[in-house]
Structure 1
Amino acid sequence: MNRLQAELQRLYFSHDVQREVPGSQEPGLIGADGRVRAMVLELARPASWEGLAKVWRGVQVDLALPAPAIAVSGTDGYQLWFSLSEPVPVARANAFLESLRMRYLGDIARDRIGMTPSVLPPVERAPGRWSAFVAPDLATVFADEPWLDLAPGPDAQADLLSRLESTKPDDLKQALERLKPVFTPVVTQPQAAAVDSPDPRGFLVEIMNDRAMEMHLRIEAAKALLPYFEAQRP
């Protein structure tokens, strides 16, 4: 295992993955238990460091989290690679990324934002177009061409990653709390009736199906409904 592989292992691979090769189509980012240590937010089509820089700065200044790695995708975007010290379920990772999107990228079309990595940098995505981790002060250089023309040096990539830290569980929990939007529900007459209703299941179903509700409230309602559905199984 070379230095770059060791840094990728330290930051991003599941604990049950012993070795990994950068650029693998199956990069070992999801463990056997379905949990992840790597969370990736991409802004593409076109690439925009100005947009993603808001997230990069915001997680450090607003949420007091370690800086994520910055990468060019090798095709058409920038990526932020977040590292977790302990793996979390994919759903929790996606909830964090979606919260970041809503906080910092809410004015950007949803189809320009990705949250599922295809390959782990560095890798040649097309002839003469390499994905790679890049230094923060060089990120703007790749706005028009988000790739490297030549293969990045493994030691240089390892040096960039060696400066990064992983987010601890308590810090992730606090960040998710801070990212929750301030929500003051406007209770319409049907909703008021639901609040007074003795049927909690019906109330939760209404919340889950109400498109006017904030998404995180609808998700919480769906979670709360799970015991009702499980109880109905034969």
Structure 2
Amino acid sequence: MEKLIAELTRLYLAPEAITRDALAQHIAGHTTLAIKLTTADGLTRAFAIPFRKVFGDGETGHWDRLCTVANALQAELGLPVPAVSIDGANAYRLWLSLATPVPAAQAQEFLELLRQAYFPERELAPDAATAPVYLPPCLNPRSGKWAAFIHPGMGASFAEESGLDMAPPLAGQVGFLEGLDSIDDEQFRQALRKLEQRRPPVPARAPAEPVSSAVLDALAAEPFALQPHGQAPASLPDELLLKDATLEDIVRHLHAKDIEPTFRFLAPR
């Protein structure tokens, strides 16, 4: 128990996050606590990224997605090997440890950029970087099964049901964690820069199409009555309300008057 508590503290917990006795009760299954991965002043110490089944995933889609992200973290972003866990119900989690806690806004940005780059089909909670989590090993309070860290090579076998009927051996949990390293400051900065470079560009808005002077002259010659929204003018029951009109409405109105409008289009430079 002491070795496991030491590894969990080394990788994921701020000193003030939970007492040693409370964590021991949590690990033993006597209680299940939602534990913060943040410091007392709100800095993020670790990430726990969930991978749940979504419609169209098939049996192992969420596991395949986790593998894609885990491999990219190492091969493309240059980060240490993450831990992998099952949540005791129907999801996996990737666990990333930070050697130095970072501001919550920066942590949330990192997760959002990671999502955009590698799993854009999933939404991310606005407090994903700071929300408390059930730290393995522990009993899932909803399913009654155990959450635990697992060997990545066995991950696919938990795709149908991501929980254990019995508590995992503590020595095995220590073994999955003791060889892992935290992300150091320079590794985190470089990964964040790489993700920012991959950020999808914001689509440019199409320029507005100006209305020709002929159309404006025609409108001046055939003024529309201004009325509150949804009310037709008493004197012109069939006329178009100017404040409700679209360009298509204006064209139809002019056609009804045997007026052929012309338009100029500005091509973007």
Deviation for aligned residue 1:170:
1.3
Distance 1:182 1:159, change over 3 A: same
Letter in 1 for 2:201: F
| Corresponding residue to 1:37 among 45, 48, 69 | 45
- Mapped to 2, the partners of 1:33 and 1:149 lie a distance apart of 37
After the TM superposition, which parts of structure 1 deviate over 6 Å for at least 4 consecutive aligned residues? none
Instruction: Look up the equivalent residue of 2:135 and give its one-letter code.
Output: L
**Which residue among 176, 180, 193 is the counterpart of 1:177?**
193
* Equivalent-residue separation in structure 2 for 1:33 and 1:128 (angstroms): 33
Q: 111, 122, 136: which is aligned to 1:121?
A: 136
Match of 1:227 in 2: none
- CA pair 3-43 structure 1, distance change in 2 beyond 3 A: same
**Secondary structure at the counterpart of residue 35 of structure 2:** coil
Q: 1:173 to 1:15 in 2, by over 3 A?
A: farther
> Which of 142, 146, 152 pairs up with 1:130?
146
Match of 1:5 in 2: 5
The residue number in structure 1 matching 2:176 is 160
| 8 Å Cα contact 2:88/2:144 also seen in 1 | no
Displacement of 1:120 after TM fit?
Answer: 0.6
Shift of 1:95: 1.2
Q: Quote the offset at 1:189 in angstroms.
A: 5.0
Identity of aligned residues (%): 35
2:95 is equivalent to residue 81 of structure 1: yes
Gaps of at least 5 residues in structure 1 are: 191-234
Is residue 104 from structure 1 mapped to residue 118 from structure 2 by the alignment?
yes
Letter in 2 for 1:27: I
TM-score (norm 1): 0.72
For the Cα contact (< 8 Å) 1:40–1:82, is it kept in 2? yes
What do the CA deviations read for 1:135-156 (whole angstroms, capped 9, x no partner)?
1111111000111121011111
* Deviations, residues 195-217 of structure 1 (Å, cap 9, x unaligned): xxxxxxxxxxxxxxxxxxxxxxx
Instruction: Note if contact 1:14-1:36 (Cα within 8 Å) is conserved in structure 2.
Output: no
Using the size of structure 2 for normalisation, the TM-score is 0.63
Indicate if the aligned counterparts of 2:88 and 2:143 stay in contact, CA closer than 8 A. Answer: no
* Structure 1 residue matching 2:68: 3-state secondary structure: helix
The range that moved more, 163-172 or 92-101, is: 92-101
Could you give the per-residue CA deviations for residues 89-121 of structure 1, whole angstroms, max 9, x where no partner exists?
222111111111111111x24279x93453111
Residue pair 1:84, 1:167 contacting (<8 A) in 2 also: yes
Secondary structure of 1:110's partner? coil
Contact 2:69 2:118 in 1 (8 A): yes
Deviations 1:1-31 (A, max 9, x none): 6111000000001144463614552424221
Shift of residue 123 of structure 1? 0.9
Corresponding position of 1:231: none
Higher alpha-carbon Rg:
2
Alpha-carbon deviations, 1:38-77, whole Å to 9, x = none?
A: 1111011357110111110000000010011101011110
Q: Distance in 2 between matches of 1:138 and 1:165?
A: 21
Preserved CA contact (<8 Å) 1:128 1:150? no
